[in-house]
Amino acid sequence: MSARTASEPYAPRGFGLALESAAAWLLAVLWLLPLLYAFWTAFHPSEFSARFTLTAPLTLENFATAWNAAPFARYFLNTFLLVTMILVCQFALCTLAAYAFARYSFRGREVAFTLVLVQLMIMPDVLIVENYRTMSRLGILDSIPAIALPYVASAFGIFLLRQTFKTVPKELDDAARVEGASALQVLWRVYVPLARPIYVAYGLVSVSYHWNNFLWPLIVTNSVESRPLTVGLQVFSSTDQGIDWAVICAATLMTSGPLLVAFLLFQRQFVQSFMRAGIR
C-alpha cells in the first residue's frame, strides 16, 4: 500500500476518492440510462412502456411480435454474410498490400502509399453518389457484394498491417528465404502468425463497424434478400410498426444483441482492440 501511494502521489484518497467515484458512477448511470430504459420497455407489456412499477410483469412477447413482424432471420443471415465477406477479403487484400509496402522497395512506392492513405480522409461513406452509379453500371445493385465492395480495400487495414510487418525482424525473413521459402510462403509462415494480435484487433473493429454501418447499405439495397439488419430495423420501425415502442425497443435490442453480448463477454479484448487499432 505504501509503495503504491509513493508511486502515485496524485491518486485521490479518502474523501476525494469517494467524491470522484460518486461522480464517475453518476455519469456512468446517465450513460447507461437510455439503454436501461430500452431494456425495461422491451421486457414489459406495452402498457408499462413508460410507467415504472416494480410489480410490472416480465414478458418476451415483444420480441416474439417483432421477430414475426419482419424477416429478421433473413436480415441476420445477410449481416452475417456481409460481415464475413468483408472481413475475409480485407484480411487477404490488406495483408498482400501491406507486405509489399513493408518489405519491398520499388519505384512508385511512396506515391502508391499516399494514394492508399487518401482513403483515410475520403471514406467510401461520403462517395455514395458515384459509388451508386458504379454499382448500377456493374449491374450488382441490391446485392450483398455491392455493400461490401467499396470497403474491401481498406486503407486503415493496409496501414495497420504495414506498421506491424515493419516490426518483424528482417533476419527472420532472410532465414526463411535461405531455406527456400517463396515470398508468399514467408508472408504466410512468418509475418501473418506474428501479426495475429493485430488481426484480432482489426477484425473486431471491422466487424463492429460493418455490423453497424447503415447509410450505404440503405442506399444500395432494396429487398429483403440483401438488406442487412440495420436497414431492416429501419424499414421495420419506420413503416410496419406505428408507434408500439415496446416492440420497436425489442427489435432494436435484438439487432444489436449479438454485438452487445460479444462486447460484454470480451470487454477487455474489445477495448484493447479499438485502442490498438486507433493508436498504431
Q: Which residues from 163-222 bind another protein, rule CB under 8 A?
A: 163, 166-169, 171-172, 175, 178, 183, 194, 197, 208, 211-212, 214-215, 218-219
- C-alpha grid cell, residue 15: 474523501
Query: Between residues 73 and 279, which has the closer beta carbon with respect to another protein?
Result: 279
Near another protein by CB under 8 A: residue from 143, 206, 221, 230: 230
Query: Between residues 49 and 59, which has the closer beta carbon with respect to another protein?
Result: 49
Q: Report the site for another protein in 59-88 (rule: CB under 8 A).
A: none
Near another protein by CB under 8 A: residue from 70, 82, 144, 249: 249
Q: How far is the CB of 55 from another protein (least distance, A)?
A: 18
Q: How far is the CB of 193 from another protein (least distance, A)?
A: 9
Q: Report the site for another protein in 35-54 (rule: CB under 8 A).
A: 35, 37-38, 41, 49-50
CB count in 10 Å sphere of residue 120: 12
Q: Using H for helix, E for strand and C for coil, what is the string for the chain?
A: CHHHHHHCCCCCCHHHHHHHHHHHHHHHHHHHHHHHHHHHHHCCCHHHCCCCCCCCCCCCHHHHHHHHHCCHHHHHHHHHHHHHHHHHHHHHHHHHHHHHHHHCCCCCHHHHHHHHHHHHHCCHHHCHHHHHHHHHHHCCCCCHHHHHHHHHCCHHHHHHHHHHHHCCCHHHHHHHHHCCCCHHHHHHHHHHHHCHHHHHHHHHHHHHHHHHCCHHHHHHCCCCCCCCHHHHHHHHHHHHCCCCHHHHHHHHHHHHHHHHHHHHHCHHHHHHHHHHHHHC
Query: Between residues 82 and 152, which has the closer beta carbon with respect to another protein?
Result: 152
Near another protein by CB under 8 A: residue from 127, 140, 192, 200: 127
d(CA 86, CA 253): 24
Query: Between residues 81 and 128, which has the closer beta carbon with respect to another protein?
Result: 128
280 sits near another protein (criterion: CB under 8 A) = yes
Site size toward another protein, by CB under 8 A: 114
Spatial CA neighbour of 147 closest among 163, 170, 166, 128: 128
Spatial CA neighbour of 38 closest among 55, 63, 75, 57: 63
Near another protein by CB under 8 A: residue from 60, 64, 88, 117: 117
Q: How far is the CB of 104 from another protein (least distance, A)?
A: 4
Query: Between residues 64 and 197, which has the closer beta carbon with respect to another protein?
Result: 197
Query: Between residues 81 and 127, which has the closer beta carbon with respect to another protein?
Result: 127
d(CA 259, CA 252): 12
Q: How far is the CB of 72 from another protein (least distance, A)?
A: 13
Near another protein by CB under 8 A: residue from 88, 120, 224, 265: 120
Query: Between residues 64 and 109, which has the closer beta carbon with respect to another protein?
Result: 109
Query: Between residues 50 and 64, which has the closer beta carbon with respect to another protein?
Result: 50
Q: Report the site for another protein in 1-20 (rule: CB under 8 A).
A: 6-12, 17, 20
